[in-house]
Amino acid sequence: MPEPEQHEIPFQGRRIKNPRLRRGIFLLPSLFTVANLLCGYYAVVASLLGGRDDFDRAAKAIGFAILFDSLDGRIARMTGTNTEFGVQLDSLADVVSFGIAPAVMAYAWGVRSLPGDGSVAFQQIGEFGWVCCLAFLICCAWRLARFNVQGMAPGGSKYFVGMPTPAAAGMLAALVHGFKEPLHNWRWSVAWFLLAAGLGALMTSTIRYSSFKEIPWTRKQPSLAIVLLCLIVAVIWRYSEYALVVLAGAYAAIGGALHLVRFVRHRLVSRTA
């Protein structure tokens, strides 16, 4: 009898014949996705504990979730192991890590340390924060569902339509990691919850944000680029409280500024036409 056909998959230009190795390669991206999900779950638990260090750990967990989320897709593309199951699992993990976890963290960080006395004003701030964080979660799920259906922006993979969910969650996590101490002033709490709602609006907007996928990471890079990358990593490692806030804020602001420039340019061209 003829032997059953062995399906081989390419891996960096080679073909893997070992069945166990093939299964391991297919499982590798899912392991990073599960790690992403684990970080999101840990961030929720740490936020519920509510201590100063607990909030910082929750923010760091969301940061690691962003790292794992960027690795699972890249590894799947490198090894040719993209599957529909992996896509759905990644989306579900992102809802937890970049939707539920930052929403719970933002709400707890904004109301846990307020000098509440059971007054109506204090209850209204809590309800306002609850609504804003719920809006953030809904917008995150909306953004992920739209991405699964529509994909990247028209014309290639250089841009996302709307702020990516890891970037929005990273903005909240960077601020919590930078300031660490939970909010004690109701005015800052209101501003904080408005920021969470605003990030949700950016996720569901049509503003284009760079995906950085046009950068050929796997190709040989100039020495200067490698040196700059090492310096950026060193600065983030040493001054993470400040560097991450600056990077997250710059990414959000630059996307909005470029969208405004394109809008004004389009209006000027329309008037002169």
- Tens of pLDDT, residue by residue over 134-151, are 999 999 999 999 988 887
CA-CA distance, 263 to 21, in Å (whole number)?
A: 51
Question: Domain tally for the chain?
Answer: 1
- Position 241 in a domain: no
Query: Would you tell me how many other CB atoms lie within 10 Å of the CB of residue 27?
Result: 12
- Looking at residue 262, its pLDDT comes to 84
Give the domain range for residue 45. 9-153+165-206
* Cβ contacts of 15 within 8 Å, gap of 6 or more: 8, 9
Q: What is the CATH number of the domain that holds 133?
A: 1.20.120.1760
Task: Answer whether residue 243 shows pLDDT above 60.
Answer: yes
- Position 255 in a domain: no
- Position 190 in a domain: yes
Whether the model pTM is above 0.95? no
Mean pLDDT over the full length of the chain: 83
- Position 93 in a domain: yes
Residue carrying the six token digits 């008037």: 271
Q: How confident is the model at residue 14 (pLDDT cuts 50, 70, 90)?
A: very low
- Position 264 in a domain: no
Residue 105 contacts residue 59 (beta carbons within 8 Å): yes
- Position 87 in a domain: yes
Per-residue tokens: 141: 């799920």
> DSSP character for 51?
-
> DSSP character for 8?
-
CA-CA distance, 30 to 272, in Å (whole number)?
A: 53
- Position 215 in a domain: no
Element (H, E) at 266: helix 240-272
- Position 123 in a domain: yes
Closest alpha carbon to 259 in 203, 205, 217, 193: 205
CA-CA distance, 93 to 169, in Å (whole number)?
A: 13
